């Protein structure tokens, strides 16, 4: 079955630093989604990517759909304490959705 490998598993960074995380898959995907889960809450969609090579920004967040359609990255610039949480990459375009195992981000003020 499809597998999503997300890295790093966890990150501890200083406030103001930039963050980069990525996701690779064993299969080609039509859509990449990036979700964030705040502590004690449900996941919330951050960015959706629909085409290979697509680069999309949402405020301080930037995500790209890899050309091979098997990978995606998410960058966060100038991190702030509220960026703390778990970031999931998600395959979409197939059923059921497959979630990566998440990158746990901690921001030290």
Partner 1 sequence: DTAVSQTPKYLVTQMGNDKSIKCEQNLGHDTMYWYKQDSKKFLKIMFSYNNKELIINETVPNRFSPKSPDKAHLNLHINSLELGDSAVYFCASSPGLSKTQYFGPGTRLLVL
User: Rule CB under 8 A: which residues touch partner 1?
Assistant: 31, 33, 37, 40-45, 48, 86, 88, 92-97, 99, 101-102, 104
Length reported for the chain: 109
**To the nearest whole angstrom, how small is the minimum distance from the Cβ of residue 16 to partner 1?**
26
Nearest 5 degrees, angle CA 4-CA 92-CA 68? 60
Least distance (Å) between residue 95 CB and partner 1: 6
Nearer to partner 1, 69 or 101 (CB): 101
Select 65 or 88, whichever has its Cβ closest to partner 1: 88
Q: Of 41 and 82, which CB lies nearer to partner 1 in the complex structure?
A: 41
Instruction: Write out the DSSP string of 14-80.
Output: ETT--EEEEEEESS--SEEEEEEE-TTS-EEEEEEE-STT-EEEETTEEEEE-TTSSEEEEEE-S--
Nearer to partner 1, 30 or 77 (CB): 30
d(CA 19, CA 75): 5
Least distance from C-beta 2 to partner 1, angstroms?
A: 12
């Amino acid at each position: 079955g499809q597998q999503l490998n997300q890295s790093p598993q966890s990150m501890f960074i200083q406030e103001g630093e930039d963050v980069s995380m990525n996701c690779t898959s064993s299969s080609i995907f039509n859509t990449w989604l990036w979700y964030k889960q705040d502590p004690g809450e449900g996941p919330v969609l951050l960015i959706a990517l629909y085409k290979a090579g697509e680069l999309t920004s949402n405020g301080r967040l930037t995500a790209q759909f890899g050309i091979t359609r098997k990978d995606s990255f998410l960058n966060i610039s100038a991190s702030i304490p509220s960026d703390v949480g778990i970031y999931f990459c998600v395959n979409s375009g197939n059923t059921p959705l497959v979630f990566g195992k998440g990158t746990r981000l901690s921001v030290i003020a």
